[in-house]
């Protein structure tokens, strides 16, 4: 009898434990609903409490990303909600743990009509190096941050050091992301060091290369601007400081003149057979312009200039071979000039005088241009998209309009779009797209 009673008590105790364990939740969330996320975007966070393994997945990855994507035990989960300029929307992040699923909902209103969004775009620098002890290959993260900070000042219109019209605030900020696409923290924000067995590298060959090894360096083009830093091989006729691909533009009512047109509103990395990016010559990345001097290899200006190309700008000087006096940058407020004539006379005379004396006053004539559409108009060059002797510290209103158009409509450019392009289905496979880039020399 005693044995039977002991058995009954044991069985009852097990049932009680089972009942308790079944009532114990697999996990708890500190919050599962986020309403009224501002149109400018926001980084949200909540806590998960559990002893088990869990995954977090966004069902709207084009504008709502979650990090980390998985873990074990208690953790803080963040949701990065992109700015919204198209229409009100709802997103879902799914949490799965121990066979149980819970949805976290996000609602966000669109930017009110008539207002302009401040774009914040993450930039990832891929530093290619063969010799880690070479400071001209293994560029420090602190120097990269320093240069990008100065670039942001150019895009804010806050670098006006000379006369002329005020610069334009593009309402755009470049920043260095702290995590990789997989959610893991980067050793240095916005920097990825990549060992490379070839150095220096032919930059034009690199920008056209169909090798998967190069193409696979690119992080998601819809989320990041990829900048490659490496030593460029020497070329005849000058030194190349930077090179950038131009953006694409969707044909139809939102097509932007001067860019290659595609029929797609949304594309992905897999659609490109070349490494769409910016490349910067790391041999000159330490270059600044000391007070009272002129430096055509200033790395801050070079990067600001190349990012201008990446966002749809052409050179401010005439680039047409058939008509050297034509206006070829699609911006009526940037005065064109005959660059070949300028280089052969004004620029050479100014440089020769400056190199002999070291006096900036002897270089001043080199800042002057003759408007090729009006020979009586002598103007001073301040534009960032002109890389001859120039103050290179500002953009114009028309250049601002072009960059904003690219940000708002072009495929493979990070940030929210005015169309529903980011939620469209990308075409399958590699597309036959011409490789169009701008090469920029040190004179």
What's the pLDDT band for 166 if we cut at 50, 70, 90? confident
Q: How many other C-beta atoms are found inside a 10 Å radius of the C-beta of residue 391? A: 20
Predicted local confidence at residue 301, as pLDDT: 96
In this prediction, residues 139-155 reach a mean pLDDT of 97
**Helices assigned H by DSSP within 311-347:** 339-342
Q: Is pLDDT of 117 > 50?
A: yes
Of 18-27, 170-179, 291-300, 387-396, minimum mean pLDDT range: 18-27
In this prediction, residues 7-21 reach a mean pLDDT of 46
Q: Is pLDDT of 16 > 60?
A: no
Q: Is pLDDT of 11 > 70?
A: no
Task: Please tell me whether residue 14 adopts helix, strand or coil conformation.
Answer: helix
Q: Domain 28-108: which topology?
A: Immunoglobulin-like (2.60.40)
Angle between helices 299-310 and 141-156 (to 10 degrees): 60
- pLDDT more than 90, % of the chain: 67
- Which residues, listed in sequence order, are joined to residue 369 by a DSSP beta bridge? 379
Buried b (16+ CB within 10 A) or exposed e, 39-70: bbbbebebebebeeebebebebebbbbbbbbe
Mean per-residue pLDDT of the chain: 89
Buried b (16+ CB within 10 A) or exposed e, 80-103: bbbbbbbeebebebebbbeeeebe
What's the pLDDT band for 17 if we cut at 50, 70, 90? very low
In this chain, the answer to whether the domains covering 28-108 and 119-313+393-442 adopt an identical fold is no
Q: Domain 119-313+393-442: which topology?
A: Collagenase (Catalytic Domain) (3.40.390)
Q: How many other C-beta atoms are found inside a 10 Å radius of the C-beta of residue 435? A: 17
Pairing of β 89-97 and β 70-72? unpaired
User: Which comes out higher in pLDDT, residue 247 or 65?
Assistant: 247
| 7 token code pair | 């058995």
| 341 token code pair | 């004539």
Domain boundaries, the chain: 28-108, 119-313+393-442
Predicted local confidence at residue 321, as pLDDT: 64
Is the peptide bond between 71 and the residue preceding it cis, with omega within 30 degrees of 0? no
What's the pLDDT band for 328 if we cut at 50, 70, 90? confident
DSSP string, 28-79: EES-SEEEEE-TT-EEEEEEEE-SSEEEEEES-TTTEEEE-SEEESSEEEEE
Handedness of CA 400, 225, 307, 265 (dihedral sign): negative
Give pLDDT tens digits for 402-417.
999 999 999 999 999 9
What's the pLDDT band for 41 if we cut at 50, 70, 90? confident
Is the peptide bond between 293 and the residue preceding it cis, with omega within 30 degrees of 0? no
Give pLDDT tens digits for 339-366.
888 988 899 899 889 888 888 999 999 9
What's the pLDDT band for 334 if we cut at 50, 70, 90? very high
Q: Is pLDDT of 379 > 90?
A: yes
In this prediction, residues 175-204 reach a mean pLDDT of 94
In this prediction, residues 366-386 reach a mean pLDDT of 93
The answer to whether the CB of 270 falls within 8 A of the CB of 411 is: no
The answer to whether the CB of 259 falls within 8 A of the CB of 249 is: yes
| 29 token code pair | 């969330």
CA neighbours closer than 13 Å in the CB half-sphere of residue 387: 28
* Terminal C-alpha separation, the chain: 104
Burial class, 108, CB count within 10 angstroms (exposed 0-12 / middle 13-18 / buried 19+):
buried
Predicted local confidence at residue 5, as pLDDT: 47
Give pLDDT tens digits for 44-60.
999 999 999 999 999 88
Give pLDDT tens digits for 273-315.
999 999 999 999 999 999 888 999 999 999 999 999 999 999 9
């Amino acid at each position: 009898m005693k044995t039977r009673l002991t058995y009954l008590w044991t069985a009852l105790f097990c049932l009680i434990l089972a009942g308790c364990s079944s009532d114990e939740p697999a996990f708890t969330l500190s919050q599962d609903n986020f309403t009224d996320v501002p149109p400018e975007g926001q980084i949200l966070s909540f806590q998960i409490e559990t002893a088990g393994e869990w995954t977090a997945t966004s069902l709207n990855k084009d504008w709502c990303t979650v990090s980390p994507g998985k873990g074990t035990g208690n953790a803080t989960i963040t949701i990065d909600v992109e700015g919204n300029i198209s229409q009100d929307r709802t997103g879902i992040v799914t949490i799965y743990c121990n066979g149980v699923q819970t949805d976290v909902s996000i609602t966000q209103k669109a930017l009110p009509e008539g207002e302009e969004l401040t774009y914040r775009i993450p930039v990832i620098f891929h530093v290619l190096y063969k010799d880690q002890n070479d400071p001209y290959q293994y560029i420090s993260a602190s120097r990269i941050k320093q240069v990008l900070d100065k670039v942001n000042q150019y895009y804010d219109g806050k670098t006006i050091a000379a006369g002329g019209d005020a610069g334009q605030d593009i309402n755009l900020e470049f920043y260095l992301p702290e995590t990789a696409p997989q959610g893991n923290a980067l050793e240095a924000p916005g920097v990825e060091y990549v060992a490379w067995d070839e150095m220096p590298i032919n930059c034009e060959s690199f920008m056209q290369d169909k090798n998967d090894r190069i193409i696979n360096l690119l992080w998601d083009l819809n989320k990041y601007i990829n900048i490659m830093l490496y030593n460029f091989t020497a070329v005849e006729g000058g030194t190349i400081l930077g090179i950038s691909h131009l953006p694409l533009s969707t044909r139809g009512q939102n097509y932007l003149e001067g860019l290659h047109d595609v029929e797609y509103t949304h594309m992905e990395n897999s659609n490109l057979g070349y490494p769409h990016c910016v490349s910067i010559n790391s041999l000159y990345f330490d270059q600044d312009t000391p007070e009272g001097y002129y430096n055509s290899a200033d790395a801050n200006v070079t990067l600001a200039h190349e990012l201008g190309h990446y966002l749809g700008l052409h050179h401010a000087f005439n680039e047409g071979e058939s008509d050297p006096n034509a206006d070829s940058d699609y911006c009526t407020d940037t005065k064109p000039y005959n660059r070949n004539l300028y280089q052969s006379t004004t620029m050479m005379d100014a440089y020769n005088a400056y190199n002999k004396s070291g006096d900036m006053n002897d270089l001043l004539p080199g800042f002057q241009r003759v408007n090729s559409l009006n020979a009586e108009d002598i103007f001073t060059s301040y534009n960032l998209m002109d890389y001859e002797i120039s103050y290179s510290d500002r953009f114009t209103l028309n250049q601002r309009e072009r960059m904003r158009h690219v940000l708002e409509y072009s495929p493979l450019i990070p940030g929210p779009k005015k169309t529903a392009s980011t939620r469209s289905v990308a075409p399958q496979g590699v597309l036959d797209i011409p490789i169009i880039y701008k090469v920029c020399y040190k004179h």
